[in-house]
With several copies, the nearest count.
Chain A
Amino acid sequence: MKELRYLRQEHLPNIWCAGCGHGTVLGSVIRAMEKSGIDQDRTVVVSGIGCSSRTVFYLNMDTIHTTHGRALAFATGIKLARPDLKVIVMAGDGDLAAIGGNHLIHAARRNIGITCICLNNGIYGMTSGQYSPLTPAGYVTTTSPHGHVERDFDLCKLVQAAGATYVARSTAYHTQQTIMYVSRALAHDGFSFVEVLSQCPTYLGRRNRMADPVTMLEWFRDTTVMAGAAARMKPEELEGKTIIGEFHRTTGVPEYSRAYREMVARVSGAEMAQAGASGANLMPVGSEPHVE
């Protein structure tokens, strides 16, 4: 259990409900850290607000519990200020996909070197069970008492379309895959995204005949298909299934904080050369001022 060094063990047991998948995902993450030899003194883990975002309370490194939805924006500041640090975001589906959706697509678009792990339990756990953008269609939650009217949503597809250069999905049942994908994400140079389906027996499960965490894990086991296998299946066969696996992995796209530093090197070099340049004439003649 060498990986336990990544936890603030003095603060365990954690606050999560019995059988909450978030603890399992946290376990997979620290094993991936161990595997990747993550340096606890050069890593910052950033979360938002939610049960999932409480992970940063237990990780034994620099951690920050920010405001709801904004983890990636804080992380962007940290990464740009200290590109040498490993920056990881861990947060929930509500946090990253609902209120934080814009920061997610823009972090992906910039390909900034942050590893983002979405603990997707398809519900707002912390606030007691309202629907999230990832709640399955038809499910009952406290804000969809008559069955959820919205469609199912594929977050990995969105993040990939936004420009992420590493994208994978696993579940709290598939711990070994999770460890593998998170390790690869941590090694990736660019924006890497791993969605991990996690169970919330207390709110999603209880209202949808899966009050037992074991039932929820069986649900993950029985309704997921590996990407490779899915590619060989017909659409009808995939009905109701969630595809897991590595969806996207590309290199050669410049990582943003490095690309920025390269520009800085170019510009500040030029600046040194042409010493004494004044900033006084920044406004081009004829440029009129600014509005709204």
Chain B
Amino acid sequence: MAPRKARAIEVNTSWCKKCGICVAFCGPEALRVNGTGMPEVVALDACTLCMLCELRCPDFAIHVVEDKEEAAARDATAAAHAG
């Protein structure tokens, strides 16, 4: 199975409160804090789609968008396996 990939990581700047949680616990350091205190993506490729940033964000302000093609491929594989 191909490793999952993020297509984009979106930050809702009007909801984000710059708490730094998403960045602090991003294992592969795909994120960093930018000049205004908000998270910004530094290594989209490094993102393992663990989703922890999104899950832990207290403000629903960060969203990891999975690469749809990858995802579709993966779903197909999974379906095959399940069958």
Contact = CB atoms under 8 A, between A and B. Distances in A.
A18 B18 contact: yes
A27 B60 contact: yes
A28 interface: yes
A152 to B, nearest CB: 25
A172 interface: yes
Contacts of A18: 17-19
Contacts of A212: 20
A19 B55 CA distance: 13
A27 B57 contact: yes
Contacts, number: 66
B24 A214 contact: yes
B20 A24 contact: no
A17 B61 CA distance: 14
A217 B15 CA distance: 21
A23 interface: yes
B58 A16 contact: yes
A175 B52 contact: yes
B60 A19 contact: no
A1 B63 CA distance: 8
Interface of A: 1, 4, 7, 12-14, 16-24, 26-28, 31, 172-173, 175-176, 179, 212-214, 217
4 tightest A-B CB contacts, nearest first: A23-B58, A19-B19, A18-B17, A175-B55
Given A213-B21, A217-B56, 15 more contacts: A4-B60, A7-B60, A13-B14, A13-B59, A18-B17, A23-B57, A24-B21, A24-B57, A172-B56, A172-B58, A175-B55, A175-B56, A179-B55, A214-B19, A214-B21
